[in-house]
Amino acid sequence: MSATIQHTDVGAYALGLLEEPDRRAFERHLSSCAACHRELGTLRGLAASLDGLPPIAEDPLPPARPDPGVVGDLLRRRRAGARRRRVSQALVGVAAGLVLMGGAAGLGVTVASGEREAPPVAAPENGVEALFRDGRRVSATDPDTGVKGTVAMEHKQWGSRVGLRLGGVQGPLRCELVAVDRAGHRHVVAGWSVPPKGYGRPGSPAPLVMQGGTALAPDEIARFEVRTIGDHRRLLSVPNA
């Protein structure tokens, strides 16, 4: 057996199941561990309370003392199981942390409106404002709907990171930004809801600012479209020229 001492060894010590090295090590541990000392006192009190019971008739053959090797193997398995549970719990915590970190570093949506909101947290350098500053930008205004917008693109290994700044749109609406490739196929980049006051209008002058992504590379995109969800009405078309 290993001489490594754990609090759970107090039961084995009280039963006289510890081997000599473990017993000596546990006695050293017991001198400085109040919890084990209290538990050992409880077990000894239980043994004392049994003294007043009538004797039990002895069997013709006395019960064999447990094999210390078997007991030691059981104790080692118990300690190993406890270690595995602690490691599993730690791994679950690390995995949850990584998921949260991945979500914070991935694509997100930032919406600005004229309504009072909590103070915004300063955007990181790779946020949507940096995308509009450093990325490839295209803009357009629809003469019929009055909706105007700017799209910013940044090439990534997985496709394109896309930002949108949109104004002149009144709600309530549910909309989506669509990237149309050179073959005419549409790929949804992001979706959102427009409140009744809208964005970039009198009474709600702040534009909608958001970001999303597509598997298309910037050069594969012919244009971007802002469409309503459901009836697919086109509010704005922004050529990628």
DSSP string, 190-226: EEEEE-TT-BSBTTB-SPEEEEEEESS-GGGEEEEEE
- Show me where the domains of the chain are located: 9-104, 128-239
* Over residues 136-142, mean pLDDT: 95
Q: What is the pLDDT of residues 98-135, one digit of tens each?
A: 444 454 444 444 444 444 545 544 444 458 899 999 99
CATH of domain 128-239: 2.60.40
pLDDT of residue 26: 77
pLDDT-above-70 percentage for the chain: 60
Residues 200, 207: Cα–Cα separation, whole Å: 5
Nearest-angstrom CA–CA distance, 235 and 199: 13
- What are 28-65's pLDDT values in tens digits? 887 788 777 777 777 666 555 555 555 555 555 555 56
pLDDT tens profile 149-191: 999 999 999 999 999 999 999 999 999 999 999 999 999 999 9
**5-9, 91-95, 99-103: the lowest-pLDDT one:** 99-103
At residue 88 the predicted structure's pLDDT band, cuts being 50, 70 and 90, is low
> Tens digits of per-residue pLDDT, 95-107?
555 444 454 444 4
- pTM, to two decimals: 0.49
Contact in structure between 38 and 14 (CB atoms under 8 Å)? no
Q: How far apart are CA 237 and CA 145, in angstroms?
A: 11
For residues 16 and 35, give the distance between their C-alpha atoms in angstroms, rounded to a whole number. 19
Q: Is the model's pLDDT at 217 over the cut of 70?
A: yes
- The residues, any chain, with a CB within 8 Å of residue 138's CB and separated by 6 or more, are 150, 151, 153, 224, 238, 239, 240, 241
pLDDT > 90: percent of the chain: 46
